[in-house]
Amino acid sequence: MSADPALTPRERAVFAVLLPLGVGAAVVAALLPLTRVVLPGQWLPGTIIVVTLVLAAGFLARLGGLAALAVTLIETGVLAAVVMLLFLRDTALVWLIPTGDTVDELMRLLATAAEEITYGAAPLRAGPALAFLIVASVGLLTVVIDHVVVTARMPLLAGVALIAVSLIPSIVVPDELDVVAFVLLAASILFLLRVDTLSRQTPSARASTRTAGIPATAVGIGAVAVVVSLIVTPSLPQPIARAAPGGVNVGSGIDATLQLGDDLRRPREVEVLRVYSTSPLPPYLRATTLSAFDGAVWLPDEDETRALSEEAAMDRVSVPAEVRLEEYSTSVAIENLSSTWLPMPFPAVDVAGLEGEWSTVPYNRTVISERARTQDQDYEVTTQVARPTREQIRTYDAAAPGMRPELTQLPGDLPDIVGDLAREVTEGSANDYDALIALQAWFRGSEFRYSLDAPVDDGFDGTGAEAVATFLEQKEGYCVHFAGAFALMARALDMPSRIVVGYLPGTSTTDAIDGQTVYSVSSSQLHAWPEIHFDGLGWISFEPTNSLGTPTNFSAETSLTGPAADRGDTTDTEDAESTPTPTLLPEEQEQQQNGEAAGSAGGSADGLPAIGVVIALLLLLAAPAILRAARARRLLDAARAGDVAAAWLVVQDSAIDLGIPVPASDSPRVLAARLTTAHGAPPGAMATLADAVERASYAPDGVVPTADADALADAAAEAAATLVRTAPIARRILAIAAPRSLIVRPGSSFAGAGARGRA
């Protein structure tokens, strides 16, 4: 802050302290909303350290009377030094001086941080890369804000910038206003404006301001602004937010508008959740259902909710007495998914272990929340699954007496191909179940192909009636097209249908809990499938998507053994919510016994992931030794071509690997003598090398005659091998596993130090 002749020395000192303090408070307040998007444990302490040190450096520089440009450069230098110490010290010389490796590590951190932001789910767990990005960015913001407020004397502009920064997390993850952060930021900006105003006034003007009551007026205006923001604004009508492609929030999510194409075409998969269940096969996990179709889009079901904390929030499943009913328990652990819809098996009768306020929608047995998110949730779902036999289900009609009209509604301009193909494919079916099985088999037959690209190339990447018609002509598409076409064709046959959005069962892992295999569900397994309502049985899911999932096919009565499961308390309700999952066929039971993951988007043998990890770790551990051996081979090849420097470098590298000092002050003959007397190097080989280096020093091109090249290379190899052989065993192991010569050059300060006690 430049000296103002109207200020006394004491006042200048006070204002010089108050402005940086205000800047620091404002920057921290602007960052508080970010804690809802990125968990603060890994980045907040480093951020506070950077802000404090940068502002302290600026204060001391101004106290010393340095120019504004010098102050900014000093602050930038402090920022760079702190970032180096916190994140890049392992690649730098003396922890602070950047090297080529520092640049490589910097680019790697930036690339990794970009991936974490793109594919992570809020709230993110900040790894070193994301923490580096946040700390460095906040440090740069602090330098800029300090210059704008203290040097340029434009606190209002700085306030606008800080408000914009604080709004970014709220835009990315819509949530309630962070009252504490808002009040702190508003107070910090008002404080900066007030201090800046007072620092510009003469003593008489400041006295006049105090007596005129202007401070009280300013405080009153600020208070009114805060009240309006906290009380009046939330009561105003809010715009309706649509889930962005790729999820409800940042990172992996669930888009219930069936715009799943971009999600499924993501270039990189992330693990969304892990699940294990007592059911014979891992279950599909549903998030929500879509029943209303206006000809262009399917709309998510919106119905009355009931607090999940209430007793009997979910009714028991009710089916006819002759139908077998089985109860299963499924545990779900969310890894990378931020959504207001909870992935869960169907039909659920109880959910336990959730954190936050959650509600159930009795109409479709889904669980949603207006405030909580799925990220890091770990919960258990109890389901009651009806398992009719094939003979039983054939006696039930796919009908919806008294149910909602949108379940059978079709648009007036529905292309004829939908109904015509539905009747053609199901012709000759004796009952609704057989008709639906024929429709499912047709979609999963050789005529259709699963493709994420064909819809984009042919311009029908949508869910409308025209897109369905194009899909039925092209016979290429992904789950949205298969599910939408199946549901509309079922309605054309007067069967009530809806679409479910959720996840495929996943891929089996090598982990097991309580004897149950743990399945990993990835972002690419986001899925949509149709359901048909059978009067008396409830909703039954089908899987028409070619090459994915498990097709529905109930077993014959003669293949079922064992008594029916205990039904518990059941109530007779006309619109019972029960979706029987397919009873295991003999071949499916054999697959389950063999540990195969039926119903996954792409399974693999249980042992392969573990073997891959072990191989990757071994390669990673062996990488330094492999690189060192390759370097030694190249140097020896160069030595055989007459390169004296390469031959001498073979010996120097071996010495550095063993911790033997190779200082720049040692001449070749001095180093050769020390390696011979103190470290057991062969005298003859070392003499040959030292003579060659001395002769090459005077040669015009530094190359010895070809006739002496082989002897030169042999001497270098012998000397290096003898040094390693005579070294202590621990030093030899370290030299092979972590060769220092890959990063330490002969003659550098690190090479001159060597290992203590080895000189």
How do the domains of the chain map onto residue ranges?
9-200, 261-604, 610-753
pLDDT given at position 532:
93
CATH class entry, domain 261-604: alpha beta
User: Closest Cα partner for 390 from 325, 434, 346?
Assistant: 434
pLDDT above 50 for 506:
yes
In degrees and rounded to multiples of 5, residue 730 shows phi and psi of -65, -40
Query: From CA 43, how far away is CA 292, in angstroms rounded?
Result: 45
Q: What percent of the chain has pLDDT over 90?
A: 17
> For residue 479, what is the DSSP state?
H
- Cβ atoms of residues 540 and 531 within 8 Å: yes
**pLDDT band of 43, cuts 50, 70, 90:** confident
Walk across the sheet containing 526-534 and list its strands: 298-300, 285-293, 497-503, 526-534, 538-541
Q: Does residue 128 have a cis bond before it (omega within 30 degrees)?
A: no
pLDDT given at position 259:
54
pLDDT given at position 603:
37
Q: What is the mean pLDDT of residues 635-640?
A: 87
Minimum mean pLDDT range among 61-70, 598-607, 686-695:
598-607
Q: How far is CA 251 from CA 174, 566, 626, 702, in A?
A: 14, 42, 38, 59
User: Helix, strand, or coil here: 249?
Assistant: coil
- Cβ atoms of residues 491 and 410 within 8 Å: yes
Residues contacting 271, CB < 8 A, separation 6+? 335, 336, 520, 521, 522, 523
pLDDT given at position 327:
93
Query: From CA 530, how far away is CA 540, in angstroms rounded?
Result: 9
Q: What is the mean pLDDT of residues 554-569?
A: 51
- Please provide the DSSP assignment of 533-568 as one string: EETTTEEEE---STTSS----PPPGGG--SPPPP--
User: 360-380 burial string, b = 16+ CB within 10 Å, else e?
Assistant: bbebbbbbbbeebbbbbbebe
- Tell whether the torsion through CA atoms of 674, 677, 681 and 686 is positive or negative: positive
Q: What is the 3-state secondary structure (H, E, C) of 696-738?
A: HHHCCCCECCHHHHHHHHHHHHHHHHHHHHHCCHHHHHHHHHC
Minimum mean pLDDT range among 206-220, 453-467, 487-501:
206-220
Residues in the chain: 759
- Cβ atoms of residues 520 and 601 within 8 Å: no
Q: State pLDDT tens for residues 455-482.
A: 765 656 666 888 888 889 988 888 888 9
Q: State pLDDT tens for residues 369-383.
A: 877 888 889 999 999
Can you read off the two tokens belonging to residue 565?
């499961």
Q: State pLDDT tens for residues 391-418.
A: 999 999 997 677 888 888 898 888 999 9
